[in-house]
Amino acid sequence: MSKGMSETGYLSDEELDNGPGIPSEGRRRRGPVAVLECIQDIPCNPCEASCPEGAIQVGEDITNLPHLLEEKCIGCQSCLPVCPGQAIFLVDESSTEDVSRVTMPYEFLPLPEKEETVIALDRAGQELGDTTVIRVRKTDKMDHTALVTIEVPKEWSMRTRAFKLKR
Ligand code: SF4
Ligand code: SF4
């Protein structure tokens, strides 16, 4: 078994496969869906309250891991900016082209611009390659967190979890 979050600070493939907040490939291919990469039993639950569809369940014991009810998720992005651990992403593998869209919280400045080329990074911070910014979303309600959507090759959709600017 490969080292996991407690040793490396990021999820191993096994943890990803077994996480209760990870949507199936079939669901990801039908359209945008939340990916809850939260596998530590910490007292936390704002994601549950933020979801207008009831698609996230933590329950009364707030140290429970969040469970994603993937068929209820409409990909609205409301849960992404409220997660203090920046552990929620949105993945959309529905394109018939060989590309997927990954949306992630981003708290650095300057923000990237739409259509800017940036470098996709995996969970370990390793470079995957160049990618394009599709959308940058920032509202007053989001405090300091912007949501950035990038387009990546389909095989990177469950690996890309950050990016860095080239400029
Ligand atoms: S993306 Fe929207 S619908 Fe899906 S889990 Fe998050 S808040 Fe709920
Ligand atoms: S808000 Fe984030 S850290 Fe807290 S339970 Fe939800 S996914 Fe986990």
DSSP symbol at 28: H
- Collapsed DSSP state (helix, strand, coil) of residue 119: strand
Instruction: Give the residue whose CA is nearest to atom 8 of ligand 2.
Output: 38
Atom of ligand 2 at shortest range from CA of 38: 8
CA-closest residue to ligand 2 atom 7: 38
pLDDT in tens, the chain (167 residues): 567 888 888 888 888 888 899 999 999 999 999 999 998 889 999 999 999 999 999 999 999 999 999 999 999 999 999 999 999 999 999 999 999 999 999 999 999 999 999 999 999 999 999 999 999 998 777 778 999 999 999 999 999 999 999 98
Cα(53) to ligand 1 centroid in Å equals 7
Q: In testing the pocket of ligand 1, which one of 58, 68, 74, 101 has its CB within 8 Å of the most ligand atoms?
A: 74
Residue 116, judged by CB atoms within 10 A of its CB (0-12, 13-18, 19+), counts as: middle
Distance, in Å, from the CA atom of 29 to the CA atom of 25, rounded to the nearest integer, reads 6
- CB-based contacts of 152, cutoff 8 Å, min separation 6: 99, 100, 101, 102, 120, 128, 131, 160
Q: Could you give the angle at the alpha carbon of 91 between the alpha carbons of 90 and 97, nearest 5°?
A: 145
Cα–Cα separations (whole angstroms), residue 152 to 92, 125, 149: 10, 16, 10
pTM: 0.95
Ligand nearest to the CA of 65: 2
For the four alpha carbons of 38, 44, 48 and 51, in that order, the dihedral sign comes to negative
